[in-house]
Amino acid sequence: MEVILYIYTIKNMEEEKLTAKLKRFESDTKWLIEHYDDLKIEYPEEWVASFNNKVVGHDKDLSNLMEKLRAKYREDAGHIAVEFVTPRKVELIL
């Protein structure tokens, strides 16, 4: 009985951590959208990374930015919202 309870507790903790990371990612994505007008003035034609509702990195090259994020945030780097910011109007064809 103890082993089953222990496994359930670990699984439950992992799910809670993942849920928290997904909620933070959603919040960071919304933050980028809400602040896009300011970001396009400060970081034109750059990739901008948001973590905990603040800019944590930016670069004209996505690979360079991701390298910096992985070095600084390690396993959390994959849960950081990243958006290309441009003052130009972008048309999407769906």
Please give the residue that has the higher pLDDT: either 35 or 87.
Answer: 35
Give the number of domains in the chain: 1
Three-state SS annotation for the chain: CHHHHHHHHHHHHHHHHHHHHHHHHHHHHHHHHHCHHHHHHHCCCEEEEECCCCEEEEECCHHHHHHHHHHHHHHHHHHCEEEEECCCCCCCCC
Q: Which domain, by its residues, includes 11?
A: 2-85
- Write the pLDDT tens digit of every residue in 8-35: 455 666 788 888 888 999 999 999 999 9
- Residue 41: inside a domain: yes
Backbone angles phi, psi at 57, to 5 degrees: 180, 155
- Residue 90: inside a domain: no
Closest by Cα among 52, 53, 11, 14 to 31: 53
Q: How confident is the model at residue 82 (pLDDT cuts 50, 70, 90)?
A: very high
- Residue 14: inside a domain: yes
- Residue 65: inside a domain: yes
Q: How confident is the model at residue 54 (pLDDT cuts 50, 70, 90)?
A: very high
- Residue 91: inside a domain: no
The sheet that has 46-50: what strands, in order across it? 55-59, 46-50, 81-85
- Residue 93: inside a domain: no
- pTM equals 0.77
Please give the residue that has the higher pLDDT: either 73 or 1.
Answer: 73
- pLDDT score recorded for residue 3: 46
- Residue 78: inside a domain: yes
- Residue 92: inside a domain: no
